[in-house]
Structure 1
């Protein structure tokens, strides 16, 4: 049960059904209220017309016993609640001034009255009729009525009250029929809404189920080259499929890059380890043949390679410079150059102004060191280091007068374990990690590292960093 109602399709069907149910119930109640009000107004109008008609007869002097009364209940009440006239077959009444349905005899005329003092006609009150609900029994049948109350004055000056009723059968029957129709039709309509919503949602979510199934297959097979199906629509599900495929492509590239990284790292580590092992094995058998310098060199190279791999691992994990740390690049350049007095090619520095940036001093020193090491390997006679501020950025350039970098290879050299001088020995060419580390560090500091052509037609590496 929880699984059924936990699906998006079920929740959508239930939600749509609930919303439609609330809307239909509210609309039905409004319809019933309007219908009932209109029918009651109609009954009130009929009752008032009947009451005024009887009151008009009284005002013209028609005797109580000769009144032309309608079939619906009518009661004429005088002062002190005396019932003067009632309609035919009226057996009981509630909702009027008097419950008496037996009219009193019409009083005889007073012979002492002066006929000249008697007005020719009476009058009907022009005020709005007072309305109310009551019951009446006519010819043995009791029904609900709306009663209208109208006052009239007879030609003799007597004020009487006329009560006329209009039955509510039509209103009650109409409201009952509408209520019954709603009670039967509303559940049927809700069933239709729920079914249509279920089918429509099922059709709309079918691509999502395809995406889920393919993702489950990819997870089970660990084959990141597979892709989820993309529907031909232009809705959110199609965008979800495209984003999922883009994520899979990025994940596949990342895994492939990691796999290649591990393979290249294993290959690079194998050489110094094998060389060091061979020297130690020879030294174990023939101590006099131990090449101490070569062993130290292999150990140093192995240590540097391990340090590079660890730094790349930290960068891949998203390590960023510590917040609040600042580095003065001019002092960093001077300090780094002071430690490279024995470089093969002399380095000429031109520090035009102070440039302070936010970041890790150790990582930025590593970038400058890697760029200088690369320049030393390729320079013919000289290396230049320039530091300046340009457009709000700190710009550090390292140039040489070597053969330069072919334009087609200027992005490839920043890939890991890539060496354009593969024909040379690893001792001279390095492991191919220096420039990759330099670019990763630059990007972690919010900057860029690019390569171009120097004025001496060699390589020009430009590091741009935002100011602190």
Structure 2
């Protein structure tokens, strides 16, 4: 089994050459066939003209022996009667076939025509006295020998009735040698030029493809160097052609930029996670070392608090890792009103500040109940942490969108920080003073989960002062 060319240039060159070869062969065959048909038509026309000229002489009463016949090499003529006998033939005609008789001498017995009995009632179709048949002549292909030279001819048969009421058929031929030579010459010229033309097509395709793929090679080489060096800040060259390759290079640079941002984010995430994990672990170690040296000073409640804080932090980090990895549990219709009520009942009496709820209707959204509950819970935790005396929650459906708002009467969020607070491990100074053990992941998790459900989350100023967080999810 033949191996396919391995490079795009080779495959393109072979494919283009094969397509052009097929097109040229088809076009060449069409030209040869059309040329042959055209030349055959011209031969038929010449034969018919010659036959009608002789028939016209007979119609005017010219005797057979006095006929002015054309040169036998160009137009061999044979006049055959209804009885099959030859009445007149061209001078120097030595042999003939493909006509009404094979005889080449007047008065011969003839062959292939039969006698008057064979014609039967066909006499009714004969031309009138002194007339030439105006119908289409019959054409045959045969041959003739003139002065020792044998050639192929196209014969036209034209009937004529003499003034003596004798109906004869005039056979006149047209030489086919010129037509066959022309067809052969054209065919040989095409066969000789085809390899040269295909070589030109292959060479041009090879050069054009190399020029077209040069930017691709530059992109590949730069990507290989980026992979080897690990420097994601580098970018591949974008050609100025503004074609598909330029689009590929631009998209590659966008991918590299996104990858660089993702890697930087992951590195920052790992660094921040390490920093956040260091504090509870160091606290646990310190307390355990003190307890080992002085058992009476063991602070069990502090150890439990640190372990719980460490457990929550690990759970948050695991959830973020799953979100970043594209973990998408199967979604199903979730009645958001019931989910919010269940979350409020679970938290009843446990929060620092009471939550006033206003739930209008029960909009349904496609999602994962546990993760939607996490969004509501994180927003309520954040509101209770910053509220002075009140937290308000409202849920309603607006134009096919479920809108959840959680407001507090705390200090609010400065406009410059309203996007930054959704970043991971970000805590404002005021939050640090109030937060006891918070890692700055709650709002980041809420935003990532909202986006994973096709929604959004934003923060603004509450009507009564403080901050209001608004979550919008597409309702079903």
Q: TM-score, normalised by structure 1?
A: 0.91
Q: Which moved more, 1:66-75 or 1:409-418?
A: 66-75
Query: Is contact 1:330-1:351 (8 Å) kept?
Result: no
Q: SS state of the match for residue 152, structure 2?
A: strand
CA–CA separation in structure 2 for the residues paired with 1:138 and 1:146: 15
Is 1:90 aligned to residue 99 of structure 2?
no
CA–CA separation in structure 2 for the residues paired with 1:370 and 1:124: 111
> 2:459 maps to what in 1?
451
**Correspondent of 1:401 among 395, 399, 409:** 409
Is 1:176 aligned to residue 184 of structure 2?
yes
| 1:429 to 1:271, Cα distance in 2 relative to 1, 3 A | closer
**Correspondent of 2:471 among 445, 459, 463:** 463
Q: SS state of the match for residue 83, structure 2?
A: helix
What is the total number of aligned residue pairs between the two structures?
Answer: 454
How far 1:265 moved relative to its partner?
0.6
> 2:15 maps to what in 1?
15
Deviation sequence 1:245-277 (CA, Å, 0-9, x none): 111111111111111111111110011011101
| 1:138 to 1:467, Cα distance in 2 relative to 1, 3 A | same
Is 1:255 aligned to residue 263 of structure 2?
yes
Is 1:386 aligned to residue 389 of structure 2?
no
How far 1:235 moved relative to its partner?
1.1
Query: Is contact 1:377-1:429 (8 Å) kept?
Result: no
CA–CA separation in structure 2 for the residues paired with 1:383 and 1:273: 33
Deviation sequence 1:65-93 (CA, Å, 0-9, x none): 22222112111222332122211111111
Is 1:441 aligned to residue 444 of structure 2?
no
User: Once superposed, what is the RMSD of the aligned Cα atoms?
Assistant: 2.3
Q: SS state of the match for residue 261, structure 2?
A: helix
> 1:79 maps to what in 2?
82
Q: What runs of 5+ residues in structure 1 fail to find an aligned partner?
A: 106-120
Deviation sequence 1:34-73 (CA, Å, 0-9, x none): 2222222222222122222222222333332222221121
> 2:25 maps to what in 1?
25
Question: Which structure 2 residues correspond to residues 47-446 of structure 1 after superposition, within 5 A?
Answer: 47-72=47-72, 73-104=76-107, 122-330=130-338, 332-333=340-341, 335-336=343-344, 338-421=346-429, 424=432, 428=436, 430-446=438-454
| 1:467 to 1:404, Cα distance in 2 relative to 1, 3 A | same
Query: Is contact 1:327-1:360 (8 Å) kept?
Result: no
CA–CA separation in structure 1 for the residues paired with 2:430 and 2:257: 30
Q: SS state of the match for residue 99, structure 1?
A: coil
How far 1:338 moved relative to its partner?
4.9
CA–CA separation in structure 2 for the residues paired with 1:277 and 1:425: 25
CA–CA separation in structure 1 for the residues paired with 2:308 and 2:182: 101
